[in-house]
Structure 1
Amino acid sequence: MKTRVAVIFGGVSVEHEVSVISALQAIQHMDDTKYEVIPLYISKDRTWYTGEDLLDIDNYKDLKGLLQRSQKVILSRGGNNSVELHKDPKPRFGKSYIGEIDVAFPIIHGTFGEDGVLQGYLELLNLPYVGCDVLSSSTGMDKVAMKHIYRDSGLPILDYVWFYSTEWNEDQDSLVKKIENTLSYPVIVKPANLGSSVGISKAANVDELEEAVELASEFTTKIVVEKMVQNMTEVNCSVLGDYEAAEASVCEEVLGSDEILSYEDKYTGGGASKDSGASKGMESTNRVIPAEIGEEKTREIQEIAVKSFQLLGCSGVSRIDFMIDKGEDKVYINEINTIPGSLSFYLWEPTGKPYKQLTDELIQLALKRQREREKLMFSIDSNLFSMSNLSGGKGSKK
Structure 2
Amino acid sequence: MKLRVAVLFGGKSTEHEISIISAIQAIRSINTDKYEVIPVYITKNNDFYVGESIDEIEEYTHIPELIKKSTQVIWVKDGDRVTLQRFNKKMFGNNVITEVDVAFPIVHGTNVEDGTLQGFLATLGLPVVGCDVLSSAVGMNKYVMKTVLKDNGIPVLDCKCYTWKDYEDVEALVAKIEKEFEYPVIIKPLNLGSSIGIKKANNREGLYEALDLGFEFSKKILVEPAITDLKEINCSVLGDYESAEASECEEPVNSDEILSFEDKYIGGAKGSAKGAKTGGSKGMASLKRKIPADITSEERDQVRKMAVDAFICLGCSGVSRIDFMMDTKTRKIYLNEINTIPGSLSFYLWEPLGMKYEHLLDNMIQLALKADRENHKVVYSFETNVLEGVKLGGGTKGSKM
TM-score bracket, normalised by the shorter chain, equals over 0.9
Q: Compared with structure 1, are the counterparts of its residues 294 and 277 closer, same or farther at alpha carbon in structure 2 (3 Å cutoff)?
A: closer
For 2:380, what is the secondary structure of its paired residue?
coil
Q: Could you tell me whether the CA contact under 8 Å between 1:156 and 1:331 is conserved in 2?
A: yes
Partners in 1 of 2:211 and 2:392 — Cα distance?
A: 53
Q: Could you tell me whether the CA contact under 8 Å between 1:102 and 1:128 is conserved in 2?
A: yes
Q: How does 1:164-183 map to 2 (within 5 A)?
A: 164-170=163-169, 172-183=170-181
Partners in 2 of 1:7 and 1:275 — Cα distance?
A: 16
Is structure 2 residue 61 aligned with structure 1 residue 61? yes
Q: How does 1:130-169 map to 2 (within 5 A)?
A: 130-169=129-168
For 1:54, what is the secondary structure of its paired residue?
coil
Q: Compared with structure 1, are the counterparts of its residues 100 and 207 closer, same or farther at alpha carbon in structure 2 (3 Å cutoff)?
A: same
Partners in 2 of 1:274 and 1:175 — Cα distance?
A: 45
- Which of 247, 250, 254 lines up with 2:248 in the alignment? 250
Q: How does 1:82-161 map to 2 (within 5 A)?
A: 82-161=81-160
Partners in 2 of 1:123 and 1:102 — Cα distance?
A: 12
Deviation, 1:175, is 2.9
Q: Could you tell me whether the CA contact under 8 Å between 2:322 and 2:335 is conserved in 1?
A: yes
Partners in 1 of 2:400 and 2:290 — Cα distance?
A: 63
- Which of 243, 256, 260 lines up with 1:262 in the alignment? 260
Structure 1 counterpart of 2:13:
13
Partners in 2 of 1:82 and 1:383 — Cα distance?
A: 29
- Which of 203, 217, 220 lines up with 2:218 in the alignment? 220
Unaligned runs of 5+ in 1: none
Deviation, 1:392, is 5.0
TM-score (norm 2): 0.96
Deviation, 1:174, is 3.8
Paired letter, 1:113: V
Q: Could you tell me whether the CA contact under 8 Å between 1:39 and 1:52 is conserved in 2?
A: no
Structure 2 counterpart of 1:388:
389
Structure 2 counterpart of 1:3:
3
Deviation, 1:173, is 3.7
For 1:21, what is the secondary structure of its paired residue?
helix
Structure 2 counterpart of 1:45:
45
Paired letter, 1:248: A
Q: How does 1:320-339 map to 2 (within 5 A)?
A: 320-339=322-341
For 1:223, what is the secondary structure of its paired residue?
strand
Q: Could you tell me whether the CA contact under 8 Å between 1:187 and 1:226 is conserved in 2?
A: yes
Partners in 1 of 2:264 and 2:26 — Cα distance?
A: 18
Paired letter, 1:334: N
Q: Could you tell me whether the CA contact under 8 Å between 1:56 and 1:277 is conserved in 2?
A: no
Cα displacement string for residues 157-189 of structure 1 (whole angstroms, at most 9, x for unaligned residues): 11212110221213x344323322322101110
Q: Could you tell me whether the CA contact under 8 Å between 1:57 and 1:277 is conserved in 2?
A: no
Deviation, 1:298, is 0.3
- Which of 352, 355, 372 lines up with 1:353 in the alignment? 355
Structure 1 counterpart of 2:376:
374
Deviation, 1:288, is 0.4
Q: Could you tell me whether the CA contact under 8 Å between 1:188 and 1:203 is conserved in 2?
A: yes
Paired letter, 2:236: S
Structure 2 counterpart of 1:319:
321
Partners in 2 of 1:277 and 1:288 — Cα distance?
A: 20
Cα displacement string for residues 49-69 of structure 1 (whole angstroms, at most 9, x for unaligned residues): 001201111111121111111
Unaligned runs of 5+ in 2: none
For 1:59, what is the secondary structure of its paired residue?
helix
Aligned residues between the structures? 395
Q: Compared with structure 1, are the counterparts of its residues 71 and 389 closer, same or farther at alpha carbon in structure 2 (3 Å cutoff)?
A: closer
Structure 2 counterpart of 1:77:
77
Deviation, 1:98, is 0.8
Q: Could you tell me whether the CA contact under 8 Å between 1:106 and 1:129 is conserved in 2?
A: yes
CA-based RMSD of the aligned residues comes to 1.4
Q: Compared with structure 1, are the counterparts of its residues 397 and 290 closer, same or farther at alpha carbon in structure 2 (3 Å cutoff)?
A: farther
Deviation, 1:273, is 2.5
Structure 2 counterpart of 1:201:
199
Q: Could you tell me whether the CA contact under 8 Å between 1:160 and 1:183 is conserved in 2?
A: no
- Give runs of ≥4 in structure 1 deviating > 6 Å: none
Q: Could you tell me whether the CA contact under 8 Å between 2:24 and 2:273 is conserved in 1?
A: no
Identity of aligned residues (%): 54
Q: Could you tell me whether the CA contact under 8 Å between 1:107 and 1:113 is conserved in 2?
A: no
Q: Could you tell me whether the CA contact under 8 Å between 2:57 and 2:272 is conserved in 1?
A: no
Q: Compared with structure 1, are the counterparts of its residues 24 and 6 closer, same or farther at alpha carbon in structure 2 (3 Å cutoff)?
A: same
Q: Could you tell me whether the CA contact under 8 Å between 1:240 and 1:318 is conserved in 2?
A: yes
For 1:147, what is the secondary structure of its paired residue?
helix
Is structure 2 residue 341 aligned with structure 1 residue 343? no
**309-318 or 54-63: bigger deviation:** 54-63
Deviation, 1:30, is 0.5
Structure 2 counterpart of 1:241:
239
Structure 1 counterpart of 2:304:
302
Q: Could you tell me whether the CA contact under 8 Å between 1:48 and 1:72 is conserved in 2?
A: yes
Q: Could you tell me whether the CA contact under 8 Å between 1:239 and 1:305 is conserved in 2?
A: yes
